[in-house]
Chain A
Amino acid sequence: SQTIHQWPATLVQPVGSPLSLECTVEGTSNPNLYWYRQAAGRGLQLLFYSVGIGQISSEVPQNLSASRPQDRQFILSSKKLLLSDSGFYLCAWRGRYSGNTIYFGEGSWLTVV
C-alpha cells in the first residue's frame, strides 16, 4: 500500500535561518506531489506542485522553493525564513489520472521566531 512520510513534524527556527522540509512517498510511482500551507485559522494554500522529477510549478511567489530530486521525494526549502512563514505545512500526493484521491502527510509545524 502507499504511504507518505513527512519530516520533521515540528520545528522552531529563527528569522533568517534556512529551512528544509522533506516528503517521501512509498508504494507508487510517478505521483503528482504537492506542498500546502495552513496559516492559523485559514484554509489550505497550495504552494508548489510537481508532475515529475525536476518539474515544479509555483502557485504563490514567496521566499520558499521546492525541489523534486527523485520520483518520490519532494523538498520544501527556504534560504532565509520570515516570521510570516510560520504555519502548518502539508505534503500530499495523488495518482496521475483525473479524479484520483489526494493523500496527505501528517504535516510539519513550523514556528519562526
Chain B
Amino acid sequence: AQSVTQPDIHITVSEGASLELRCNYSYGATPYLFWYVQSPGQGLQLLLKYFSGDTLVQGIKGFEAEFKRSQSSFNLRKPSVHWSDAAEYFCALDSGNTPLVFGKGTRLSVIA
C-alpha cells in the first residue's frame, strides 16, 4: 500500500538558517509527489510538485525539493528561512488510481 512518512513532527529553525523537511514514501513505481504548505486556520497551498524528468524541482516562495528514487525520498529545502515560512508542511503522493496520500505534516517554527 502507498504511504507517506514525514519523520519530523515539529522543527524549529532560526530566521536566515537553511531548512530541510524530510519526506519518505512507499510505492512500487515512480509516484507523483507534492509539497503543500498550510498557514494556521487556512487551506493548503501547493508549493511544488514532481512528475518526471529533472529530480530537482523548484517551487514558489524559494522552496525546492529533490526526488531521490534510491532513498524513496522527496525532501523539501530552502536556503534561508523567513519568519513568514512558519507553517505546517505536508508531503503527498499520487499513485494515479486513489486519492492523494498525505503525510501527517511537519510544523515549522521560526525564531529570531
Contacts and interface: CB of A to CB of B under 8 A. Distances in A.
A31 to B, nearest CB: 13
A90 B96 CA distance: 21
A102 B100 CA distance: 8
A74 interface: no
Contact of A43 (B96, B100, B102): B102
B104 A99 contact: no
B104 A107 contact: no
Chain A interface, >50% SS class? strand
Given A90-B44, A107-B43, A99 B96 contact: yes
A44 B41 CA distance: 13
Interface of B: 32, 34, 36, 41-46, 49, 51, 90, 92, 94, 96-97, 99-100, 102-105
Interface of A: 32, 34, 42-44, 46, 49, 59, 88, 90, 92, 94, 98-107, 109
25 contacts: A32-B99, A42-B104, A43-B90, A43-B102, A43-B103, A43-B105, A44-B105, A59-B99, A90-B43, A92-B44, A98-B94, A98-B96, A99-B32, A99-B51, A99-B94, A100-B94, A101-B46, A102-B34, A102-B92, A102-B100, A104-B44, A106-B42, A107-B41, A107-B42, A109-B41
